[in-house]
Amino acid sequence: MKNFLIIGHKAVTETFSLNDLPGAAGRMDILCRCVNAALFLSHDIRRDVCVFLVLKGEPSPPKIIRFDGSAVRYLSPDERSAASLIKKALEKKAQDFWTESTAGVSIRKGDLDDIIKELDMKVTYLREDGEDIRVNKFDPQSDRLFVLGDHLGLTEDEEKIILGCEHEMISVGPLSLHADHCIMLLHNEMDRGKHI
């Protein structure tokens, strides 16, 4: 299972308008594009992928929304489609356990460290000064949790959590890219490893 966790530091934790994802919804557009990049093939869904969105914006952070590729339905590639499933999840009461809002989409209270504990696997942290993915060869069959920041990167406290567990730091290329673009490059590297 490939797991992608993206932290949305401003992403709101209550229902929002689909017509202003970058503004009023706190850069929810970034998280929607990450869902797309993580889950979509040309005419298919990547069934071996889970996406965890950590929402840390007002009014009641932190909450986590999970998209499970093996079960997700009603998801199209456009941002608004992912946003509408996130919105439906936020309409549910978030508790200390997962509550399914639509097929394959669930919500709970929680933060980065809760997912790290829950998954209990090596963390691969995307950072510009990490080792290049073409040098640090992936084992595409191994279970992984990739952690990516939004436009604000990760806070010091979030980094401390990662440094406190089994982890590696990698980068996807020479330039600084959006999180969804990084996810595509990670997938491609693993796709190539699997299909050689």
Contact residues for a second copy (CB under 8 A)?
18-19, 21-22, 29-30, 33, 36-37, 40-43, 76-81, 151, 172-178, 181, 184-185, 188, 191-192, 194-195
Q: Which is nearer to a second copy, 17 or 99 (CB)?
A: 17
CB of 85 to a second copy, least distance (A): 14
Q: Looking at beta carbons only, is 111 or 189 nearer to a second copy?
A: 189
- Which region holds residue 171: left if phi is over 0, alpha if psi is between -120 and 50, else beta? beta
Scan for tokens 């604000």, then name that residue: 152
* Least CB distance to a second copy at residue 120 (A): 29
From the centroid of its chain, how far is CA 110?
14
In the bound state with a second copy, the residue whose beta carbon lies nearer, of 26 and 110, is 26
- 44 versus 96: smaller Cβ distance to a second copy: 44
Least distance in angstroms from the C-beta of 69 to a second copy: 14
Query: Minimum CB separation from a second copy for residue 110, in Å?
Result: 26
Strands (E), 11-140: 40-41, 44-45, 49-55, 63-68, 99-102, 105-109, 123-132
Alpha-carbon separation of residue 163 from 101, 142, 158, 168 (angstroms): 33, 20, 9, 9
To a second copy, the closest distance from the beta carbon of 72 in angstroms equals: 17
Closest alpha carbon to 74 in 90, 85, 87: 85
Q: Which of 78, 93, 97 is nearest to 14 (CA)?
A: 93
Structure tokens at 19: 């017509």
- Nearer CB in complex with a second copy: 18/119: 18
